[in-house]
Amino acid sequence: MPTNTIEGYTFAVDDEGFFTDRTQWSEPLAAVLAELVGIEHLTEKHWAPLHFMRDDAAKTGVTPTLRRMQAVGGFDVKDLFALFPGKPAKKMAYLAGLPKPVGCV
């Protein structure tokens, strides 16, 4: 299984670079990775959905989709698009140390 190493952090990833072991994630690492997906600084507004994502995935075993972030997490989809521009669900999953979301909606 491939691993990525960045600034002293080493973590197992899949072919697309998503984490395969959520325990190898940490907040400082997420802050480093954020720059790679075009987010300069993670604010509280970024952390809230990321933490929800991790908590929800821990319960269900599946990375939540945007729709679930809205329906269960109570996040505004518009805000998520603004916070994580372009591919919000994938960027959030990446920064939360979770596998790529597979749900359709």
Partner 1 sequence: MPSTYAAPAAPTGPRKLALICSKGNLDMAYPGLILGNAAAGEGVEVHIFFTFWGLDIINKKTNADLKFTMLGNTAMHMAELGYLRPGLEHKSMPQLMGQLPGMTAIATKMMKKQMADLEIPDVPEFLDLLEAAGVHMYACKLSFDMMKMLEADLHPGVEGVISAADFIEISAGAQTIFV
Residues that bind partner 1 (CB under 8 A): 65-68, 70-71, 76-78, 81, 85-90, 103-105
| Active-site residue, from 5, 8, 41, 104 | 104
Of 97 and 101, which CB lies nearer to partner 1 in the complex structure?
101
- Name the residue with tokens 């075993």: 61
Of 58 and 71, which CB lies nearer to partner 1 in the complex structure?
71
Query: What is the closest distance, in whole angstroms, from the C-beta atom of residue 101 to partner 1 in the complex?
Result: 9
Of 10 and 60, which CB lies nearer to partner 1 in the complex structure?
60
Annotated active-site positions, please?
A: 104
